[in-house]
Amino acid sequence: MKKAPFDKDVRYPRSRIEKLAVKPGSRVTVLGVDDPVFLAELKERSADVSSRTRTGTDIVFVAMASKDDLKHLDTLRRSIKPAGAVWVIWPKGRKEFREDDVRAYGPRAELVDVKVMAFSETLSGLKMVVPLAKR
């Protein structure tokens, strides 16, 4: 009997770091994400991690809690490499700040969303990247 292509994924689920596309040696910025387990996962992955915005970053993880925070996407967009990403992380289940708010603001910062995921039991994440036509 032939197995379904997803059987391997069920038996060997990808880790959070793999789902977030953090590769060994990635230049990562973490802003406001207070998750010691996540920071340990980054360290284990041998990522170059900073808590300050810097140019030439592969991935930025930024915690946001309100629509006012979205204006920071403009600066973060300029800090990533052309093929880099900004992961916006926010608390689940809040009506005043949701995934749709992040998606709606993205084009103002020249970013488009490409992936959403449960970052943790209490946090959601949306991956934003520079559109191919603007790289």
pLDDT tens-digit map of 69-100: 999 999 999 999 999 999 999 999 999 999 99
Mean pLDDT across 125-131: 97
pLDDT of res. 55: 95
pLDDT of res. 13: 84
Alpha carbons within 13 angstroms on the beta-carbon side of residue 88 total 33
Alpha-carbon distance 101 to 99, whole Å? 5
pTM: 0.90
pLDDT of res. 84: 97
Does residue 13 or residue 101 have the better pLDDT?
A: 101
Q: Is the pLDDT of residue 8 over 80?
A: no
Mean pLDDT across 107-128: 97
Q: Is the pLDDT of residue 5 over 80?
A: no
